[in-house]
Structure 1
């Protein structure tokens, strides 16, 4: 995959993080989310207007500057699947040029993504290694959980789930 001409609204970027997935990772926060979860910790990022419009090639280059010091990349937000048309291209380019894994946080359930008629959702899902799915629900908030904010959220091994045609959760 060559040049990525598209642009994406970037709400934030962490060069390296230990809390947004397993290992040392770069984290891309995208703008725009329609879930409107109560007590969302990235409330400002729900707006599609928040952040800066950045070329995907620039995002890719910034991630690759951290490689091989990082183990992977995490897509968060906002809502990555509301930006799936650009993110699946970025994910494929990362996968084609490194051994990094990709984690993704979404308010959607895995089943919704798999059963959707949106082809770009399925393309992004096929490019992800680990999915943390489900809306943040205040009543299920649990700060002792790793990589999740509420007990209803699942950590899913996407590739094994696709192959087995059933949800394979990671016990982390």
Structure 2
């Protein structure tokens, strides 16, 4: 299955807990002023890769704690990312996903593919980047409104659980 990406960072320590393989998806409808990755907004930019290629690269580094999907907007390509996330989970590793939509907005889509990616997400960092709430002291996010949600615990408890980072 194919995925449109802007690029990857093979070893990141800023895109979630531990050393991570970060996939930057191509295409974003949010266009947040002050966005850290404006080159990822164009849905016609980037390059197309096979999910299997990314997974092969990921497998080469035993030091990785997991994989992160950033953007762009990962939930614009939920089907291939859910497939990739399943492969990552099959190795006992975790998946973090960034989204400009809130968790509640993603649930309101009632889209089976979006739901499938949410099911394969361990940590969701949600909400648009808001320049007026920018804070460089925050772990893994750029503005105060963005949340770091423990989706595994949220599913288990049936209520929103934030990670203390």
TM-score w.r.t. the length of structure 2 is 0.97
Poorly superposed stretches of 4+, deviation over 2 Å: none
Residue of structure 2 equivalent to 1:101: 94
Extract unaligned runs of 5+ from structure 2.
none
Matches within 5 A, 1:59-78: 59-66=54-61, 68-78=62-72
1:129-163 Cα shifts (integer Å, max 9, x gaps): 10000000011000011111000000000011122
C-alpha RMSD over aligned residues: 0.9
Specify the alignment match of 1:159 in structure 2: 152
In 1, the alpha carbon distance for the partners of 2:104 and 2:6 equals 27
For structure 1, the residue ranges without an aligned partner over 5 or more in a row are 1-5
Q: Deviations over 1:78-112 (max 9, x none)?
A: 0000010110011011112x111111100010111
* Aligned match of 1:134: 127
The CA deviation string for residues 103-123 of structure 1, in whole angstroms up to 9 with x for no partner, is: 110001011112321111110
Match of 1:91 among 55, 76, 85: 85
Q: Hey, what does 1:20 align to over in structure 2? A: 15
Corresponding residue of 2:51 = 56
Residue in 2 that maps onto 1:171: 164
